[in-house]
Amino acid sequence: MKNLLEGVEEILLMGPGPSCVPPEVYAALSRKTIGHLDPYFLEIMEEVKMMLRNIMNTRNEVTIPLSGTGSAGMEACFVNLVEPGDRVLILINGVFGQRMREVATRLGASVDFLEFTWGTPVIPKEVAQKLRDTSYRIVAVVHAETSTGVLNPVAEIGTLMKGKDAIYLVDTVTSLGGSEVRMDDWNIDALYSGTQKCLSCPPGLAPLSFSEKAMAKLNGRKTKVPNWYLDLSLIYNYWGKNRVYHHTAPVNMLYGLYQALYLILQEGPEKVFARHRESHEVLVEGLEGMGLKMLVDAPYRLPMLNTVFSPQGIDELAVRKRLRSEFKIEIGGGLGPLAGKVWRIGLMGHTARKENVARFLAALKTTLGK
Ligand code: PLP
């Protein structure tokens, strides 16, 4: 019988995720599996929690990786914090803000939203007005909108949230590990992320953190959390001091995350962020040098996800296919209204290196016949 895994090639992952995985993380994933209640594993779990607090800049005790991808982190935040009828405000400027609205709606929340043009950031002034007019239980926003490449002003919105009863919920799936996230300073109460972007670990875990205020909302619920698997009180019974079995932790994925966080802290978060910014600058310069136009205005661009218009008259899908087959490079296409119009070029985590940018730009030039 043919083993398909023998045909898996090394691809330079420059799409919207997953990103390239460093050899040390692959090595960590293949270490011997031990029991998920083994005392040595418990030590590893404690370190993972500590390193996550470090990278999120939070002192929250409840800071853990959930089993599941970034969407599990999103779902966990809403399912634990929303009770039917709660007024929730979602700030939307792309696919992932829309997904938040869908998740909150399914839970019976009374969902209100502010929508901003895709490719532009959330405008804090409009949020401030909304917060003056209505009292919300939750306000949610995506920090780095992967569908457009826009960085949202999470710190500024956090200032508006100060002193408010509402829980401030932020998606950092694409930002964590690639640019600064300051959970406590930005007044964020609930935050989630994913391993497969700037953390440079394969997809499979969703780091999450809840502030004391978020935990108080969870503990004060009148109704049970409607999802057993993502019930944070049950999960924390395992990740906290009690170590009570809830579900079998994905042991080797957690080795991978441990190693990925270890590498970021060893290199130094500031240096990692600078590497992302510098790679982004070289990429933009190269793209503009070819006459291509970026979707997002310079001040709001994400370093780790670059959205550029594909040239008129060019079959953008054919370009992506050739990059993949001939040059072993993956980039992403557009989503929603941007489908067929843009390419999304990721510079996430281990991918964010100038040599990768140079290889991509050379391949794109050849493909476009420039
Ligand atoms: N939020 C953002 C901003 C994302 O970019 C993604 C994935 O691309 C998700 C949430 C969902 O994460 P996942 O696909 O890992 O479930």
Report the separation in Å between the CA atom of 3 and the middle of ligand 1, taken as the mean of its atom positions: 30
Residues in the chain: 370
Residue closest via CA to ligand 1's atom 5 equals: 146
Please name which of 183, 176, 184, 175 lies closest in space to residue 152, comparing C-alpha atoms: 175
Report the separation in Å between the CA atom of 317 and the middle of ligand 1, taken as the mean of its atom positions: 22
Percent above pLDDT 70 for the chain: 100
pTM: 0.98
The CA radius of gyration of the chain, in Å to the nearest whole number, is: 21
**CB of 261 closer than 6 angstroms to any ligand 1 atom:** no
For residue 87, give the 3-state DSSP assignment: strand
Report the separation in Å between the CA atom of 96 and the middle of ligand 1, taken as the mean of its atom positions: 7
At 309, which amino acid appears? F
Q: How far, in Å, are 284, 309, 311, 334 from residue 293 at the CA level?
A: 9, 6, 9, 14
Q: How far apart are CA 209 and CA 73, in angstroms?
A: 10
Q: How far apart are CA 97 and CA 143, in angstroms?
A: 10
Q: How far apart are CA 59 and CA 208, in angstroms?
A: 13
pLDDT in tens, 63-96: 999 999 999 999 999 999 999 999 999 999 999 9
E-only strand ranges, the chain? 12-13, 62-67, 87-92, 110-115, 138-142, 144-145, 150-151, 167-171, 190-192, 205-210, 305-309, 329-330, 332-333, 342-346
pLDDT in tens, 217-236: 999 999 999 999 999 999 99
Q: Which ligand 1 atom lies nearest to the CA of residue 72? A: 16
Residue closest via CA to ligand 1's atom 12 equals: 70
Q: How far apart are CA 280 and CA 285, in angstroms?
A: 9
Q: How far apart are CA 198 and CA 19, in angstroms?
A: 7
pLDDT in tens, 136-189: 999 999 999 999 999 999 999 999 999 999 999 999 999 999 999 999 999 999
- What is the pLDDT of the chain when averaged over all its residues? 98
Q: Provide the pLDDT confidence category of residue 331 given band limits of 50, 70 and 90.
A: very high
Q: Is the domain 9-18+269-368 a CATH 2.130.10.10 member?
A: no
Q: Long-range contacts for 42-51 (Cβ within 8 Å, ≥24 apart)? A: 42/243, 44/254, 44/255, 44/258, 45/239, 45/249, 45/254, 47/258, 48/254, 48/257, 48/258, 48/261, 49/239, 51/258, 51/261, 51/262, 51/265
**CB of 70 closer than 6 angstroms to any ligand 1 atom:** yes
Q: How far apart are CA 180 and CA 170, in angstroms?
A: 13
**CB of 142 closer than 6 angstroms to any ligand 1 atom:** yes
Report the separation in Å between the CA atom of 71 and the middle of ligand 1, taken as the mean of its atom positions: 6
**CB of 22 closer than 6 angstroms to any ligand 1 atom:** no
In the chain, where are the structural domains located? 9-18+269-368, 23-265
At 82, which amino acid appears? V
Identify which of 71, 172, 257 to mutate to test ligand 1's pocket (most ligand atoms within 8 A of the CB).
71
At 85, which amino acid appears? G
pLDDT in tens, 12-30: 999 999 999 999 999 999 9
Residue 370, pLDDT > 90, answer: no
Under 8 Å CB-to-CB from 248, ≥6 apart: which residues?
36
**CB of 356 closer than 6 angstroms to any ligand 1 atom:** no
Identify which of 173, 192, 199 to mutate to test ligand 1's pocket (most ligand atoms within 8 A of the CB).
173
Under 8 Å CB-to-CB from 122, ≥6 apart: which residues?
91, 93, 114, 116, 141, 152, 153, 157
**CB of 305 closer than 6 angstroms to any ligand 1 atom:** no
Q: What is the pLDDT of residue 190?
A: 98
DSSP letter string, 130-197: HHHH---SEEEEESEETTTTEEP-HHHHHHHHTT-SSEEEEE-TTTBTTB---TTTTT-SEEE--TTS
Q: Which ligand 1 atom lies nearest to the CA of residue 71? A: 16
Q: Which ligand 1 atom lies nearest to the CA of residue 145? A: 3
pLDDT in tens, 290-318: 999 999 999 999 999 999 999 999 999 99
The sheet with strand 342-346 has its strands ordered as 305-309, 342-346, 332-333
Does residue 65 contact residue 89 with C-beta atoms inside 8 Å?
no
Q: How far apart are CA 239 and CA 242, in angstroms?
A: 8
Does residue 59 contact residue 83 with C-beta atoms inside 8 Å?
no
**CB of 69 closer than 6 angstroms to any ligand 1 atom:** yes
Q: What is the pLDDT of residue 230?
A: 98
Does residue 361 contact residue 44 with C-beta atoms inside 8 Å?
no
Classify domain 23-265 by CATH number.
Answer: 3.40.640.10
Q: How far apart are CA 363 and CA 312, in angstroms?
A: 19
